[in-house]
Amino acid sequence: MRANTWQSVGSIGPPLTVLVSWKNYLLATGGICMAAKFLLQVLKDLNWRFVVRGTIVFLVGLFALTPVALGILLMPVVGQPIYDRLIFQPLKYPSGRYEKLAVKGIAPEEIFFKSKNGNKLHGLMYALPLAKKVVLLSHGNSGNISQRGHLVDLLLKDGVSVFVYDYAGYGRSEGKVAMETLVQDGRSAYNYLTRERHLRAEEIILFGESLGTLVTGKLAQSVQCAAVILECPLYSLRRVGCDKLPYLSLYPDWAWSNSCKQLDISMAMNKKRSPVLLIAGTSDNLTRIKQADELYAAIAAPKAYIRIEGAQHGDAVMMKSKEYKEGLRDFIASL
């Protein structure tokens, strides 16, 4: 009897559950209906003429201001962090060829030194026995020093030692690469040779490769050296930028940062100083040969020019050419 009572009571459960569910559903539906009525009333009370006019004014203003805002954002002095990311292509350690640093049987000495801004920079010293000169090599914008073995090999064959270093943000060097720190890093490398290695200025040859020619050119403006070598030179960072991104030529002088305007070899090398060697390819796909020709004309004597027909930007045609190898050897031998 008791069992039957529980069964009868238990049988009431499902209908109660259903009733509760329907009650919640009706309450929710009623709430939605009330919200919908309120929204319809709000929309009915709106001044639609004002809304449409306001929307039109907003869209017109947006389209009118977008080019202005974009122009300000792309202004060199404002957008320099953007251009830094476009220009520089650093390769951080351990990426590279660090397992094959020895060149011509010479294992380099690993050097760490401080830049002016406090970053610890990394360099490799290839010391050739009995060498009378040391080349301070400022490399191009991509990779790191572990990938400059081919150039180090050529220089060692010409009887000079080589000190190649990485800018901040490259290889094992600390910090972040930026236009305003490039020359500081180059100057710090030069100071290491003169202050720590006790080399005299007349024992140092400044060598710049591609982007490194801007560093070398600016450095040569403020320090003494035995000679300057510029391979695949950039006339100026501003001019290269305008060639690659024509809209940049629309910006006036004040729209360019000082660090960018200072990276101009034509201004740095227009006074008589140590001998200068220019090396360029007539088919350079990065910097037009016209820039190298004009730069050579702007450089003060004494100077020499190796103009390699058909060579592109530091390609195998250039590096393996007879003109390059013999011209570089003869220039260094004349110092």
Q: What is the pLDDT of residue 17?
A: 53
Classify 83-333 by CATH class: alpha beta
pLDDT of residue 223: 93
Would you state the structure tokens that stand for residue 309, as one six-digit string? 């027909």
Residue 15 has pLDDT above 70, yes or no: no
What sign has the CA pseudo-torsion 19, 25, 27, 30? negative
Res 113 pLDDT > 50 = yes
Asked whether the beta carbons of 148 and 218 are under 8 A apart, the reply is no
- Mean pLDDT score, 46-59: 61
Phi and psi at residue 252, in whole multiples of 5°?
-75, 175
Contact 86, 177 (CB under 8 A): no
Q: What is the pLDDT of residues 58-68, one digit of tens each?
A: 666 655 556 66
Mean pLDDT over residues 32-38, rounded? Answer: 66
Segment 158-169 shows an average pLDDT of 97
Residue 118 per-residue DSSP state: S
- Which one, of 228, 213, 233, 220, lies nearest residue 287 by Cα? 233
Q: Which of 75-89, 126-140, 269-283 has the highest mean pLDDT?
A: 126-140
pLDDT digit string, tens, across residues 81-92:
777 777 788 999
